[in-house]
Amino acid sequence: MRTAFSVIFIIAILAMGVCSIIAQRSRRSIGPAVAFLMASFTLPVLGNLLLILYSNELFAWIGYYIYFLGMDVMMFALIRFTFKYCNMTWPYKAVEILINSFFGLDLLQYILNPFLHFSFSIEPIIVDKTVYYRLVPYLGQTFHRFLDYGIFLAIIILFIVKAVRSPRIYRERYTIILIAIILGGISESFYIFSRTPMDISVVGFVVVGMFIFYFSIYYRPMRLLDRMLSDYVSGMGESLFFFDGNKKCVWANDPGRRLLEIEARNYEQVEGKMKAFFQGGEPQSETGEWKIERSVGEGADIRYYVIEKRILSDRKDQLEGYFLSFRDQTEEKKKYLVEKYNATHDHLTGIYTKDYLFERIREKIDAHPDEQYMICYFDVNDFKLVNDVFGNEFGDLVLCRIAKRIESESSEFTLYGRLIGDTFGICVPKSRFNPKHLEDLLSHFVVSEGNRETQITVHIGVYEVKDRNLEIAVMFDRARMALSTIKGDYQTHIAYYDDKMREDVLWAQRITNELPKALEEKQICPYLQPIVGPDGRILGAEALVRWIHPEFGYMPPAKFIPIFEKNGMIADVDKYMWRSACEILSGWKENQKDWFLSINISPKDFFFMDVAAEIKKIAEEYKINPGQLRVEITETVMMTEIEKRIQIINELRNAGFLVEMDDFGSGYSSLNMLKDMPVDIIKIDMAFLTKSTDDVKSKTILKNIVTLSENLGIESLTEGVETKNQYEMLRDMGCRMFQGYYFAKPLPLDEFENYSKAS
C-alpha cells in the first residue's frame, strides 16, 4: 500500500514538474501562470509523500506543514491562473490586499502553531500494522479551510459567471476548466472527511492539473474553430461547396445554397444542380484543380462567375475532398465591359476608335496570313464647310450618319472606325474589295435634318497591304498619302498608294522645310529666257524660277512648283521672283536697257494675297516703269470667282502693266476665255500644237489664232519655238514676238546679258 502510493505520488510530482517546465517554455501568454500552478500542485503531493513514507513524528509534522502551506500556494497560483485565463484583473485593490493578508495570517498561524497549538496537532494511528500520523484540526485549521474553500468557491463562481455570460462558442473554454476545478474540489473534500492520513485526493489534483495544463496550453477547441470558420465562410460573398472524397457535398455556405437553390441543408440536391449548372460537364485539368469564367443567363439578367475548384489533401497528400467556389463578379465585369466599350468606341459615332481599330486590324492581319488586305482612308470633302454653314451640331450628326452608313454597308469581314475628325478608316480583304461599291458608299449621300441638308462626298486613299509587318498607323499614313494626291480634285474619288508616292511625299516634305532657307540664301533665282521680235532682236525676257540646290544642284521648276502650289508656299516663291525681276529691271533702267520682263503668276497666288496690290507695291518700291513688267496669267485663273479675277486683271492693266494669257491653247476653252479675260497679249505654246500629228491642221489653227487676236487688238507671242522653220512660218503668219530654244534657253542673268550683246 505504502509503496504503491509512494510510487504514484513520485510519478505525480514528476509529471507536474514536467508540465510546469513545458508550460513555462511555451510561448503562450498564459504559460507562466500555468507553470506556477503546476509547480504548486507538487507541494501538497510532496507533503503527503512525506506523511506516508516515514512513520516518524517529525516527518509527519514537516509533511503536514508542506501540505497546508502548499495548499495556500496552490490557491494563490489558482487565483493568478484564473485571472489570466479569464482575462481579468483584481476589481478592487482592497480585495487583493485583503486576500493576501488572509494568506499572510494563515502563514502566521502555522508558524505560531508549534508554540500556541491552535492550528492543528497530529496523533499516531496504526493502519496495516504501520504507524501513520493523523491530523487533529483546531480552530486555526478551520480558518485555513475557510480561506482555501472560500477562494475555491469564488473561483468556481467566477468560472460559472464567465461560462454563462460568454458567447455560446466560448462557453466550452470555461466549462472545461470549471468541471476540472469542481472535480478537484470534490476529491479534496473526500480527504477532509475521510480523515485517513493517506490523501488519495492528491491524485485527483494531478488529474485536474493535467487537465488544466492541456486545455490552457495545447487544446484549441475545434468546435470553436469550426464555428468561427463556418461563420466566416458563410459571411463571404463567394458561394462555396465542400465535397468529400466521394464527391458528395458535405457543406455549402448560404450564398452557395442560394445560388443553386438548395433547400435548408439538403446537400443531396447539390450534385444534380451542379450537373445542370455545368451543362456539358465540368472542366477537367491534370491536377484536378481549375479556374474558369462562366456567364449564366442572358441580356440584363446575365451574371458572370469565376469558378474555381481546389483539392483539399492532408499533410500526407491523401485526398480529403475538394471545394468549388463561385465568385460572382457580375458588377466588376459589367463595369469592365462598359469601360472597355467606352475606351474602344468613339463617343460620338459609336464605332471603333482609331487605337482600337488599329489593334483589331493588327490581330486580323496576323491571324490570316494568306489573306491580302486593303487599308482605306476616308476623308469627307469640305467637312469644315458643313460645320461652318450648318453648325457643329449638324456636323456631328453628319459624322454619325456617315458612321451608320459605313456600318450598314460593311460585311463581317470588314473592320472600320473613326480615325480623327472627319476621317474614317476601313480594312477589307482584297478579295472583297470593291472600289465601285466603296465609292458609291458615300458619294451621293445626303444628310438632312429639318431644313438643313447637305450632300456628302468623300475622297478615299487606298493602301494595299504589301508589307504586313508595317505598323497599322504607317499603313494608314500611306493610304492618307494616296488621298492627299487627289485632295481638292472633284473628278477622282479614289487614289491608290504606290512607292513613288511615298518618295514624292518625302521629297515634298523635305523641300518644304528647306524653302525658307533657300529663299534667304538666294538658292532660288530667276533664269531669263529671251523674247525676240520679228527681226530677231531682243525685246525682253521671261523670268523663270530655278533652284540651285546645295546638294542636288540645278533644279527646274517642275521639281518644286507643283508642291508649293499645293501647300500654298508658291506665294512666297512668286513674291520673291517678282521682287527679283523688278531688281533686274531697275538695274537695266540704270544701264539704259529698255527690255521688258515677264513674270509668272500662279493661279494659287490669288488665294493667298491681293496679287495686283502686291505687284504694284513692289514695282513702286523699285521705281519700275509698269510698261516694262508683263504679267503672265493662265486661263485656269478664271475657273473660280471670275468677276473678282477680271477686276484684278483690270487693276493691273490700269496701273500700266501688260497682262498676258499664258499657255494659250492648252485649256479647253482658251478661245472662249478670250472674250472674258481682258488681256493685252496671248502667249501661244507651240508645244500644244506640234503635239498633233496633222501638221496642216495645226498650221491652220495657229494661223487663225494669230489673225483672230490681231482682229481683237490683242498681240500674240509664240513660245516653244525650236526651229528656224517654225520661226519663219510664225513670222509669215503675222506673229510679232517669239520665245524658244531656237533663240535661247532660259539663262542666268549674266549669260542673258552676254547673249544680248552677241545677238
Site residues (vs ligand C2E, CB under 6 A): 529, 544-545, 556-558, 561, 570, 574, 577, 600, 602, 662-663, 687, 719-722, 740-741, 746
Minimum distance of ligand C2E from residue 692's CB (angstroms): 15
Of 38 and 511, CB closest to ligand C2E? 511
Of 82 and 602, CB closest to ligand C2E? 602
Minimum distance of Ca ion from residue 547's CB (angstroms): 17
Minimum distance of ligand C2E from residue 598's CB (angstroms): 8
With beta carbons less than 8 A apart as the criterion, state whether 575 and 602 touch: no
Of 529 and 709, CB closest to ligand C2E? 529
Would you count residue 662 as binding Ca ion (CB under 5 A)? yes
Place of cell 483584481: 90
Minimum distance of ligand C2E from residue 454's CB (angstroms): 35
What interhelical angle do 139-165 and 57-85 show, nearest 10?
A: 20
Q: Is 719 exposed, middle or buried (0-12, 13-18, 19+ CB in 10 A)?
A: buried
Minimum distance of ligand C2E from residue 689's CB (angstroms): 12
Q: Which does 720 bind (CB under 5 to 8 A by kind): ligand C2E, Ca ion, none?
A: ligand C2E
DSSP labels, 478-496:
HHHHHHHTSTT-SS--EEE
Minimum distance of Ca ion from residue 461's CB (angstroms): 32
Minimum distance of ligand C2E from residue 662's CB (angstroms): 5
Q: Cell numbers of 649, please?
A: 486683271
Of 176 and 686, CB closest to Ca ion? 686
Of 72 and 542, CB closest to ligand C2E? 542
Binding piece for Ca ion, criterion CB under 5 A, among 137-145, 210-218, 419-427, 627-635: 627-635
Minimum distance of ligand C2E from residue 740's CB (angstroms): 3
Q: How far is the C-alpha of 566 from the C-alpha of 569, rounded, in Å?
A: 8
Q: How far is the C-alpha of 210 from the C-alpha of 22, rounded, in Å?
A: 12
Of 379 and 719, CB closest to Ca ion? 719
Residue 253 CB contacts under 8 Å (≥ 6 apart), including other chains: 230, 233, 234, 236, 238, 239, 240
DSSP labels, 628-680:
GEEEEEEGGGGGS-HHHHHHHHHHHHHTT-EEEEEEETSSS-HHHHHHHS--S
Would you count residue 632 as binding Ca ion (CB under 5 A)? yes
Which amino acid is located at 542 in the chain? E
With beta carbons less than 8 A apart as the criterion, state whether 125 and 197 touch: yes
Among 663, 702, 740, 744, indicate the residue that binds Ca ion (CB under 5 A). Answer: 663
Would you count residue 113 as binding Ca ion (CB under 5 A)? no
Would you count residue 605 as binding Ca ion (CB under 5 A)? no
With beta carbons less than 8 A apart as the criterion, state whether 670 and 689 touch: no
Residue 196 CB contacts under 8 Å (≥ 6 apart), including other chains: 127, 134
What letter does residue 747 receive in the DSSP assignment?
Answer: B
Among 20, 600, 670, 709, indicate the residue that binds Ca ion (CB under 5 A). Answer: 600
Of 172 and 662, CB closest to ligand C2E? 662
Cα 196 → chain centroid: 87
For 347: left if phi > 0, alpha if psi spans -120 to 50, otherwise beta; the answer is: alpha
Give bridge partners of residue 131 from the DSSP assignment: 126
Q: Cell numbers of 244, please?
A: 468529400
Q: Are strands 538-549 and 596-601 parallel, antiparallel or unpaired?
A: parallel
Minimum distance of Ca ion from residue 368's CB (angstroms): 53
Of 349 and 602, CB closest to ligand C2E? 602
Of 441 and 737, CB closest to Ca ion? 737
Q: Which does 602 bind (CB under 5 to 8 A by kind): Ca ion, ligand C2E, none?
A: ligand C2E
Minimum distance of ligand C2E from residue 376's CB (angstroms): 34
With beta carbons less than 8 A apart as the criterion, state whether 409 and 429 touch: no
Number of residues counted as binding Ca ion (CB under 5 A)? 4
Would you count residue 172 as binding Ca ion (CB under 5 A)? no
Of 373 and 564, CB closest to Ca ion? 564
Sign of CA pseudo-dihedral 19, 21, 24, 27: negative
Q: Which residue is nearest to Ca ion (CB)?
A: 632
What letter does residue 217 receive in the DSSP assignment?
Answer: I
SS3 745: coil
Minimum distance of Ca ion from residue 667's CB (angstroms): 12
Of 163 and 569, CB closest to ligand C2E? 569
Task: By CB under 5 A, name the binding residues for Ca ion.
Answer: 600, 632, 662-663
